[in-house]
Chains A and B, each alone.
Chain A
Amino acid sequence: MNEMMLTDVLEEYALAAPQGFDQAIMQQMAEKYPQFAADLKDFAAARAVIKYAPEAEMSANEDARFQQIGMENLRAVLSENKNSLESLTDAAKAKGMNRSKFAAALGLSVSLVQYLEKRRLDFATIPQNVIAKVAQVLETGEELVANYLNQSAVSPVNASFKATERPEELKPKSFIEAVREDQQLSNEEKQRLLEM
Chain B
Amino acid sequence: MNARETDSTDIKPLTKRTRQGELYVRRAETQLQIEKITTLEKPQILEMLDGGKRRDEADYLLDETLVYLFRESRRSGNDELFNQIYLELNRRIWKLFLKFRSNFKEQAGFEDFGQKIEMAIVRKLIDTNSDKADFAQVQFGSFVVSEAKSVWKQNLAAIKRDQEFLETPRENDDETGGNELENLALGDISSEQQMIIREGLRKLSTNHQTVAAMMLDGFQIESKDENELTISKHLGVSSRTIRNWIKEMRLTLADYKGETKR
Spell out A's residues near B (CB within 8 Å).
Answer: 3, 6-8, 10-12, 14-15, 18, 20-23, 26-27, 39, 41-56, 58, 62-63, 65-67, 69-74, 76-78, 80-81, 135, 141-143
Contact = CB atoms under 8 A, between A and B. Distances in A.
Nearest to A80: B123
Interface residues of B, number: 60
Given A18-B139, A51-B141, A73 B122 contact: yes
Nearest to B111: A69
Nearest to A143: B127
B90 to A, nearest CB: 3
A48 B216 contact: yes
A49 B127 contact: no
Contacts of A41: 229, 234
Given A50-B99, A62-B94, A66-B90, 7 more contacts: A11-B135, A20-B216, A49-B213, A51-B213, A52-B198, A55-B99, A73-B122
B111 to A, nearest CB: 6
Nearest to A21: B218
A interface secondary structure, majority:
helix
Interface of B: 18-19, 24, 86-87, 90-91, 93-96, 98-101, 111, 114-115, 118-119, 122-123, 126-127, 129-130, 132, 135, 138-139, 141-150, 155-157, 198, 201-202, 209-210, 212-214, 216-220, 227-229, 234
- Residue in A6, A48, A54, A69 whose Cβ sees the most chain B Cβ within 10 Å: A48
Contact of B202 (A14, A20, A23, A54): A54
B32 to A, nearest CB: 17
B interface secondary structure, majority:
helix
Given A58-B98, A69-B115, A70-B90, A50 B145 contact: yes
Nearest to A42: B155
A132 B218 CA distance: 34
B149 A48 contact: no
A52 B227 CA distance: 25
B145 A47 contact: yes
A52 B217 contact: yes
A22 B218 contact: yes
B199 to A, nearest CB: 8
A15 B24 contact: yes
Nearest to B204: A54
A53 B218 contact: no
Given A6-B149, A51-B217, A70 B18 contact: no
9 contacts: A3-B150, A10-B146, A14-B135, A15-B138, A50-B141, A53-B201, A70-B90, A141-B127, A143-B123
A39 B157 CA distance: 11
B94 A66 contact: yes
A41 B138 CA distance: 21
